[in-house]
Structure 1
Amino acid sequence: MLTTPTAPRVLSREMLDVLIRAGLVAVLAVFCFRIFVPFLNLMVWALILAITLYPLQARLRRRFPGADGSIATLIILVAFGVILVPAYLLGVTIADSIDHVMAVVKSGGFRIPPPAESVASWPLVGQRVYDFWQQAFTNLTGLAHRFAPQFKDAGLAVLGTLTGLGAGLLIFFFALIIAGILMAHGEKGHRSAVLIASRISGPENGVEITDLCTATVRAVAQGVVGIAFIQMVLIGVGFIVMGIPGAGLLALAVLLVGIMQLPATLITVPVIIFVIFTDGANTATIVFSVYIFVAGLADNVLKPLLLGRGVAVPMPVVLIGALGGMVTGGVVGLFIGPVMLAVGYKLFWRWVREQPELERVQEENRP
């Protein structure tokens, strides 16, 4: 008599059921991701802002218990004021700089000074620089027509950058509003984060991973983005008071340089040299030069105070996050990239070091 192989059939049916369920879950996840992905940068930025600003919310809540919504609204309104004033000054100075350049070009009053004879004696490139400079001095219009395609590409690149900045600022304002909503429900949000982390890595690790991510976000947001913003305000105010051409663009360059972990002196030192050469060495230029130079070095004092709080993140990680975020997400990615990469870096090394068997072997081999 032949027997029916019921066990393999049952096993195959169970496996088929599992595959079907997994496929349905995957399809649902893909659809949800496609719906959510247009808002991904907005929500990530809002979450970063909420985590960074929540300690202020908790401090004020001790004095005004039961007013979470009002406190969050007050914090967001103050943040709007702090951001809008520099943004307005930046926009005004950019508009003034563009108007000034257009007026000079239309009037024909822009002239290139003649090159010094010593330029031709520079090693390797001296003669080429001298010839190019001489052509710009004698026939600037012809030189402009010669390099018109390059000027057009550069203008389009600058226009695209300014458009990206405007879009990034608009996204930032929406992110602030969402961050206020998240801060008003901070306790529930923290419990939800612990539940999610516990579900992923186990109940014994949920609280630790949540605290690690929170500390990393605050440390990078305050120690990188915050310091760059403070430097931009300090240096930008000096540029505006001194009447530096393109002060808004230069201040923006200071912000970008600071986020990329490069020294602000790359911007401030050339400006100081320009001011001294154009206005001479008088009391105003000396005071301006000293102030701008010290403001350009302010990150050396602020970094140990802000970045040292919470979790230390290597500067190469922050730099790669800023550059990679800018390439993939534009201006918004420039801010989000360092924070997200720093969180991933800390979680990765926590996972690497969490090896109980390796710790036991190392403990046994110790003398």
Structure 2
Amino acid sequence: MIEQPTPDHRRAQRIAKASLGVGLGLFAVWLSATFIPALLWAAIIAIAIDPLYARAESRWPAGRRVWLPTIATLLIALLVLAPLTIGVVEAAREARTLLHWLADARANGLAEPEWVSKLPFANEISGWWQDNLATPEGTALQWDRVRGSFLDGNSELVGRNLLHRSVVFTFTLVALFFLLRERDGFIAQLQIAGKRMFGDSGDRIGTQLVRSVRGTIDGLVLVGIGEGAVMAVFYLIAGVPHPLLLGLLTAVAAMIPFGAAVLFAIAALMLVGQGAVGWAIAIIIIGLVVVGIADHFVRPYLIGGSTRLPFLWVLIGILGGVESLGLLGLFVGPAVMAMLILLWRDYIAGANRIAETPTAAVN
């Protein structure tokens, strides 16, 4: 006769099983630590495109296993690689001009521009320019210093970062393909796991996570693209060199709060170098107005409305995420903050219900 396990025995089995699961989970995280950013990127992209992908699946159900995830993955790859290709082509074109300019500067020195005399402390700036840049020897010395400080150990670091990011991007595409192919199964498993671990709050936590990611994408990516497009038009009108490339860089920088101001300053410096001081001031003013509208009205509405977070917590999530995780933190930070606030509100609501129970019983 088989002996039935006692309650204490079953409890010990559950503890052992949970301990084994936690240990294996931690070991799996340690093994796959290099690929966790790629998996997070794949999950973020899958959440972002899910409404369109679900619509495509309902229209072409026969292609959900192979060609629909393949097409979606290739489109995402194209969406990322196309701007990078444009930037590389534009940079290659400018590299030739820059090399000719550097060669001429090393041979003849850099003549002091006329606009230097219009700047504050013009005499001090002019004196420094004459001592360090006006002669071929001074220009060559300054260039050697800049080149030495940049190349000392940085070339190898740049190469490693480029290789690492290429591997992460490739694995992100692979993970995205499988996430899309097994979309229904993943969603069902996550729903079951959420209900088992968090009860009735599981669905709300999952919904909040999805809203946070999509709201952050709308508030950062789409608004950033809008800022870049608007500023590209003004760059073109003002005569800034390479307005398309600078507008693209502005769109990328605008995804980080206050990041676009750096590109406005670069554009203004280019205009000052051409002697267009008035347009330089106008670009700064226009850029600050565009950023002010985006950061104080559009982004709080899109991100705060979706995440149900005060914009202060959204900003902390974004900036803290960027500092800790880089670009990935732009999307992970607000999502983590939104789920944390949701759990906090549930805790407070539960405490209020417990506090009200005795009163209700007396009445």
After TM superposition, the structure 1 stretch with the greater mean CA deviation from structure 2, 148-157 or 252-261, is: 148-157
Q: Partners of 1:120 and 1:234 in 2: how far apart?
A: 34
The match for 2:63 is: 67
After TM superposition, the structure 1 stretch with the greater mean CA deviation from structure 2, 83-92 or 235-244, is: 235-244
Kindly indicate whether residue 221 of structure 2 is the aligned counterpart of residue 225 of structure 1. yes
**Please, which of 320, 341, 346 is the counterpart of residue 349 of structure 1?**
341
Structure of higher RCO (CA pairs closer than 8 Å, 6+ residues apart): 1
Change (3 A) 1:233 1:34: farther
Report the RMSD for the aligned CA atoms in angstroms: 4.5
Count of equivalent residues: 341
The question of whether the paired residues in 1 share the 8 Å contact of 2:304 and 2:310 is answered with no
Alignment of 1:29-108 (within 5 A): 29-69=25-65, 70-107=67-104, 108=106
Deviations 1:168-210 (A, max 9, x none): 36633542342233123322221122122223222x1221111
The match for 1:3 is: none
- The normalised TM-score by structure 1 is 0.71
After TM superposition, the structure 1 stretch with the greater mean CA deviation from structure 2, 355-364 or 24-33, is: 355-364
Deviations 1:214-233 (A, max 9, x none): 11111112221333245446
* Stretches of structure 1 lacking an aligned partner (at least 5 in a row): 1-9
Code of the residue aligned with 1:357 in structure 2: it is A
Change (3 A) 1:273 1:137: closer
Q: Partners of 2:12 and 2:55 in 1: how far apart?
A: 54
Q: Partners of 2:9 and 2:354 in 1: how far apart?
A: 43
The match for 1:264 is: 260
Code of the residue aligned with 2:110 in structure 1: it is R
Question: 1:37, CA displacement in angstroms?
Answer: 0.8
Alignment of 1:196-207 (within 5 A): 196-202=193-199, 204-207=200-203
Code of the residue aligned with 1:340 in structure 2: it is V
Deviations 1:14-53 (A, max 9, x none): 9998887676555433321221111100000000000001
Alignment of 1:151-230 (within 5 A): 151-154=147-150, 160=157, 164=161, 167-168=164-165, 171-202=168-199, 204-230=200-226
The question of whether the paired residues in 1 share the 8 Å contact of 2:133 and 2:139 is answered with no
The match for 1:116 is: 117
Q: Partners of 2:152 and 2:243 in 1: how far apart?
A: 18
After TM superposition, the structure 1 stretch with the greater mean CA deviation from structure 2, 134-143 or 53-62, is: 134-143
The question of whether the paired residues in 1 share the 8 Å contact of 2:317 and 2:337 is answered with no
Query: What secondary structure does 1:175 align onto?
Result: helix
Q: Percent identity among equivalent residues?
A: 18
